[in-house]
Homo-oligomer: A and B are copies of this chain.
Amino acid sequence: MKMTLLYTYLHADLALIERELEESIQADALLLRQASLHLLKAGGKRIRPVFVLLGAKLGDYDINVIKDVAVSLELIHMASLVHDDVIDDAELRRGQPTIKAKWDNRIAMYTGDYIFARALELMTEINNPMAHQILSDTIVELSIGEIEQIKDKYDFTQNLRNYLLRIKRKTALLIAASCQLGAVVAGVPVEEHRKLYKFGYYVGMSFQITDDVLDFTGTEKELGKPSGGDLLQGNITLPVLYAMQDEYINSKVRNVHQGMDREDLEEVLKLIKNSGAIEKSLQISDRYLDKALAVLEQLPPSKAKKSLRDIAKFIGKRNY
């Protein structure tokens, strides 16, 4: 089943957002336009816009207002991906060459800056100080998360807390902000939009853990890039942390480095997959999902609430 079937009533609005996304990055500068479009056309789940719209559905939903918030959040996400690919020295994303691979690191850095600037420009259309406060706090945390990620790379002594804090900043807070901002701008009362924030936070944590598991269990076709890429780039994720509790695997993992033989990497990946670490990681993911669903239950019943519940459940079982 495809995730988009969970919110068919949003399809027309999401199609509009897709057009607005494309519109938003039309630059006079050919290079910027090409690089940004390249990234946009590679696709993506657009879950941040979906969460923005669903959050707004709990209040006074006006697509002509809320679209700017939805597009802005997807652009912020895209901008952070472009910069991440520079850091990770990543060649592929969503089955396509990354901007840094197709052009170079400098172009990627400035394309990220540009996409981010466009996001901010759109947000200024929204005259709601609380929304701006939430977004800017999120962006600060996101940028701290980015640098922490560099610091933690190939650091095999890091613990679970490091990992959780990192994915909180890297992923969960922006999803939390997406859920909340849609609601804030649509005039949803504070006690409800705070719950949406919590919901988004828990879903985001679960989402990232599943993502990190998929890097081990997914096929190259599903992932759009070879599996094990996170580990190869020195990103120590939850399955790795669990697997490293075994002394033998621990010593093998510490030998991982960029440019190692694919065969040797495959061996380490296999060890991790067979260690029970995948199952333990998915349990943690499920625990966050349960928390997300519990917070959601505190909101009054609605069609949007049902979609949020379905998406949360779907995220725990997805294979892409």
- Interface 9-mer from A59-67, A128-136, A173-181, A296-304: A128-136
User: How far, in whole Å, are A29 and B162 apart by their CA atoms in the complex?
Assistant: 12
For A123, the chain B residues whose CB sits under 8 A away are: 136
A143 within 8 A of B: yes
* A136:B107 contact, CB within 8 angstroms: no
Q: Which residue of B lies closest to A140 (CB)?
A: B117
State the copy count for this chain.
Answer: 2
In the complex, how many residues of chain A place their beta carbon closer than 8 angstroms to a beta carbon of chain B?
40
* A87:B110 contact, CB within 8 angstroms: yes
For A140, the chain B residues whose CB sits under 8 A away are: 114, 117-118, 120-121
Within 8 A of B (CB), among A68-99: 83, 86-87
Known A87-B106, A113-B83, A140-B118: A29·B148 in contact at CB below 8 Å: yes
What's the nearest-Cβ distance from chain B to residue A237, in Å?
19
A147 within 8 A of B: yes
* A136:B117 contact, CB within 8 angstroms: yes
Secondary structure of the A contact surface, majority rule:
helix
What's the nearest-Cβ distance from chain B to residue A38, in Å?
14
Known A29-B148, A136-B124, A151-B31: A143·B113 in contact at CB below 8 Å: yes
For A148, the chain B residues whose CB sits under 8 A away are: 29
A109 within 8 A of B: yes
Within 8 A of B (CB), among A23-73: 27-29, 31-32
* A139:B110 contact, CB within 8 angstroms: no
A residues within 8 Å of B by Cβ? Answer: 27-29, 31-32, 83, 86-87, 105-107, 109-111, 113-114, 116-118, 120-121, 123-124, 127, 129, 132-133, 135-137, 139-140, 142-144, 146-148, 150-151
Known: A107-B147, A114-B140. 15 other contacts (CB 8 A): A28-B144, A29-B151, A31-B150, A31-B151, A86-B106, A87-B109, A87-B110, A106-B150, A107-B150, A109-B109, A110-B143, A120-B136, A121-B140, A124-B129, A132-B132
For A87, the chain B residues whose CB sits under 8 A away are: 106, 109-110
- 8 pairs of residues in contact across A and B, judged by CB atoms under 8 Å: A29-B147, A29-B148, A86-B106, A110-B146, A113-B146, A114-B143, A121-B140, A123-B136
